[in-house]
Every structure is written in structure tokens, then in C-alpha cells.
Structure 1
């Protein structure tokens, strides 16, 4: 079980080390961890946010446990050298096109949600975000118009095959849940979204047991706060998925609670190769203070055991321990409590 641990910047090292501590406590057979530099830390050490040695390490692993990247001191660097290019590069180079972001209301945290408790407790959704296309990977730049005014531009595009492969992932995921899939787009305005909707409808014919509906992204954002319990599985593009999954995190109480799995078609010796990370960023304003919530990173480690190593029982053991700790009153600063990063992980380990 070879895991590349890429902690990154800001609170990344703090939360990742606690997830590793949970894994180490489980005495998993053959567990081997390798560490590498990414993001601003890699730029300072190697001159690039994703140095060749880190990419090689990730390719040779069975899975990647990722922290976070981002550092305000790098904001003036050329775009290809900014920390965020590390995770974008890993997704592209490793063929990780499907991002799975579960968002469920954890018992006892209803009052932490921005929504009314009776609405929040109904949340149990899986957002599937396409990860290799859209404006994130399209051509982009700035140019000077004839008037002398500067203009920034970004190209949004999806090919038919890119939509088709993420649609299959989403329909299969919906089959394993309640058999309901919502596809989110902006087909009334964007040609990219019209192609998206057309292809999703074509793929739906292969999954007669899944009920498919469509929402424009603005309506989906509204419905997610009005009646989030209506959603089960959501599939959408890179940009919309980024925004909606962050919104979902506040519906369940904190962005510090949501994990993610980035998967592709590559298989490891044990399961599907993937990159696992909390959906939060590097939070440089609290880095080094011991205030970061490590639970999303710990949940991400559980997703890694499930998808890349086929260890469902071990994954559930971690998830149940986190839920039990929260139900027992464990609260970090992001949830109005006073427990620090280490204390939160200690509470999980105590439950385990």
C-alpha cells in the first residue's frame, strides 16, 4: 500500500499529519508512506510547484493523500508557477477526471449549519465534478483592445468524450445510492452546457434504473439552500462543481468537514488510483496556529482506503469514529468550539 503524502502549503501539513496519524494507528499491512513537496513549498525548494520528482512519486504510488496549496506571497508569480498549478497538474498528468465530493449532515451538527436544523438534517448528497476540462484547463490570457483597454479571457470547452465519461461515473454512482441523478448546467446560455446536456441525455439511455433531471446552475444553487434534501447525486462541470461543493460544505456546517476523491481510469494493485484531499484551501490566515480542522483530511483518508485499497471496513471505522467524536461534543474553532487540530484528531483516535 504505497501512498504519496503531499501536504503542501498553509494548513495542509497540519491536517495531513493528523490523517497520517490515524492511518498509522490502524496497523495496516504493507502501508508505506512517501512524502514530497508541492505548491509554494515546492516552488521555494525546487523552482516549480510540481517538480518532476514529486510527479514521479505520485505516479509510482497506489494513491495520493494531498493537503492544500496556496500562498499569498506567490500571487505575483507567472500563472504557471503559482502553487495552484500543482494540483491542476496532478489532475491532468494522472488522468484524474472525476471528483467525488460527498456532503451529508452529521448527527449533532444541525445547529452548525447556515440552514434551519430541520432543513439541514435532510442533506445527503454526492457531488460529482468533472475535473479535467472547462475554463480551468482552457486557453486563457489577457490582451489589449484597439481602444487600449485590457481584456482578460478564458476559453470554456468540453468535448463529447469528456462529458460522456463523467456521465458514466455519475450514473454508476447514482445506481449505488437512491437511483436519482441531477445534471447541472447553463444550457440556456452556454453552448458548452448544451452539449453537456445533450450527451448526458444520450448516456441516460444506458441507465434506465436511474431517474435523471436537469437544473440550471443558478437554480441549483438556490435549491441547495432552499431544500437540499431533494438532491442525491449531482453531476456538473469543473467550474460549477467547484462553486456548488463549497456551498454544500456550509450547508452541512463547515468546509473543514468535507473530503474528496479525484479518480480516473487507472487501476492500482488494490483498486482505483486516486488523489484524496479535503476540499478546503490552505487557509494561510490560520496556518501554524493549531486551529485548523483536520476532520476533512481524516475523512479523505477513509475515502482513500475505500476506493484505492478496497478496505471498506477500515474506511467505515474511521468515518464512524469521526461521527462519534462529533456526536460526543467534539468541536473545533470552525464549529464554534475551542479544540485545536491535535485535540480533534485525538478525539477521533480515542473513539477508534
Structure 2
């Protein structure tokens, strides 16, 4: 019985702890910063930090990992838990549902991007898929990924997708014909504790307008810059036990979304890096929450996670009972 109990506890604990944080961040033409956050407000939040420093809650109890700001300043984001809904938030406040399903294999709101031509690209079951503006779905490429978590639609028309399946960390470039090539490799930092496939991951990707690609890497607590020839270098490294999850560029400045998981969750915070490398924390949720009237309840339980944990406890109890009954009725030897 002790072995069965241990296995169930380990399975439940590992699954709950290992959800990676949000990585979506975007800066609009007026200097407002939009970012995703799955720590606060039930399943999570989508926030807007105005250029004056005012924090606005755009979506509550909404489990968004990513968000994308289009050329016409429309915000695209998706719920990626239980139900998978892709939303468009227009500058005038109107919200449109672009896609909705309860079947994550039909559309996975936890791993997607939105192209400049209006196509939805998402990853599930080791492949990338595309849904066009008419709602028709097809496989983007025949390339089979080991473990893809992040997709980026580049302005050059290529799709870039991470793969951490072999524990080295690769980014693939997929052209419009579906041909996939390794664009960069050897991106994951290997720590002395050994590789953890749930914690040592590649997260948010973006580009700088000069053809260079950037990706967040959690184990090394850094942003990696990938040059046009596929070589790479460390562009930024977080401090104080934080790690970067995503970034965006605006007016020759870089805005980096960061979280902390050591000694308890903290964040999000946003660090701005100027062209000379100077850093400034322009937003820290913990500090901001203490200074102003709260528009969020940090201790509000995540209803979806709570019900899931409750279900797992019930399964564990039932499993123990069944095990005991089987042992009780087993023939003597």
C-alpha cells in the first residue's frame, strides 16, 4: 500500500507544480505594456500597464500563456485550460471570439501563435497545425517534434518552433511549404542537479526587426539572441532568482517579463533594458499591489486547479481502498 500511495502522491504533486508560467508580453505604439499572468485571479489574468503606470485588468479568470499585438494594435490572446478560446481585444474595447472549442486537439490555446495573414498556428500531438481565416484546419508540416511548447510567427513569413524533446534545445524554421530545418541548437543550460524537462524549457520568442530571433531559457535564467546565421549568444540574464519568460521591443528598448519560483511564486515583474544595457524594473506586481488598492486577490484559489487536485485526492483514496480490498480477498499462500 505504501508504494501505491507514494506513486499517486508523486504523480499528483509533479503534475500540479510543473505548469510553466506565462510568457506573453507586448508594447503598443503609445508605450502601454500588455502581459499575461497565470498566478493571479483564479485561472489567470491579462493586464495592461499604461504609459502613465496605471494597471488595468483586461481579462480575469483567464488562463493565458501568450498574447500577440497585431500591426493595427489589436490584442490576440487565448485561454489554454479546460476550454480553448482565442480572443481579439480591439483598441475600442470590443472583444471578438475568433475560435472556441473544448477539444484541445482541435485548437490548443496553451501553445499557439497568430500570423499577420490571420492564420492560427498551434501545436499538439507532436505536430504543428494551421487554421485559416475560414476555419479550415490542416497540418502545417510533416515534421514530428519531440516536445514543442512555443511557436513564433516571424515577419519574414517563417514559423519558428522550439523542441526540447532531446534535452538539448532546438528551434526549427518552417517555411510556407512545410519544410522544417534546424535553425538553432544547443540552447538549453544543463544544471548540476540534472535536466528537468518540466522546468528547464524554452519560452517566449520574438524578433528585433533585423532578422535576429530571441528566446527565453529558464534554466540559464537568460534571453538568448539567435543571429541570422544560426549562431547564438546570451542577450540578457535575470537576477535575484527571477527568470525571464518573454520579451518585446519598443523604441530601442527591450521589455522583459520575469517570474520567480524559488521560495514561493513571485511576479510578474517587467524589466526595461535600454540600448546601452542599462536596466530598470518598471513594474513589480508585489510592490505595486502593496502601494495601490488591490484589483486582484492574490490568494484567490484557482478553481480549475482546486477541482483537479480534489479529484486526484479522491482517485488516490479510491485506489487505496481497492488495493486493500484486493489484498484482503487474496487467497492465502
The alignment's TM-score, normalised by the length of structure 1, stands at 0.28
Q: Which has the higher contact order (CA 8 A, sep 6+)?
A: 1
- Greater C-alpha radius of gyration: 2
The alignment's TM-score, normalised by the length of structure 2, stands at 0.29
